[in-house]
Amino acid sequence: MNDLGLLTPEEAAELLRITPSAVNKLRMDGQLPFVKLGKKVFYKREALAEFVDNQQLIYPAKTKEISHG
C-alpha cells in the first residue's frame, strides 16, 4: 500500500481474503470500485472496507412450524 491508500489487485485480494481473480470479477461486475491510473488498476482501502460493510447479511431466525393434527 502507498501513502494514498491504494492497493494493487493482489493486495486487495489478500485484504479481502479472496483470490485476485475474484477481485477482478467483482470489479468487472461493477460491485467493487476501483481507480485506474494509466493501465494499472488500484483499489482504495476505504472503498474495500465500505464494500465489506455492505456485504453484511442478517438472516431471519428460523421458526419451527407446529403441526396441527
One pLDDT digit (tens) per residue for the chain, 69 residues:
667 899 999 999 999 999 999 999 999 999 999 999 999 999 999 999 999 999 988 888 777 666 666
Answer whether residue 32 is part of any domain.
yes
What pLDDT does residue 52 have? 95
Q: Are 22 and 13 in contact (CB under 8 A)?
A: yes
Question: Which helix H or strand E contains 44, and what residues bound it?
Answer: strand 40-44
Answer whether residue 66 is part of any domain.
no
The total of structural domains in the chain comes to 1
Answer whether residue 17 is part of any domain.
yes
Provide the domain limits for residue 39.
6-54
What pLDDT does residue 34 have? 97
Rg (CA), the chain: 18
Answer whether residue 59 is part of any domain.
no
Answer whether residue 40 is part of any domain.
yes
What pLDDT does residue 57 have? 84
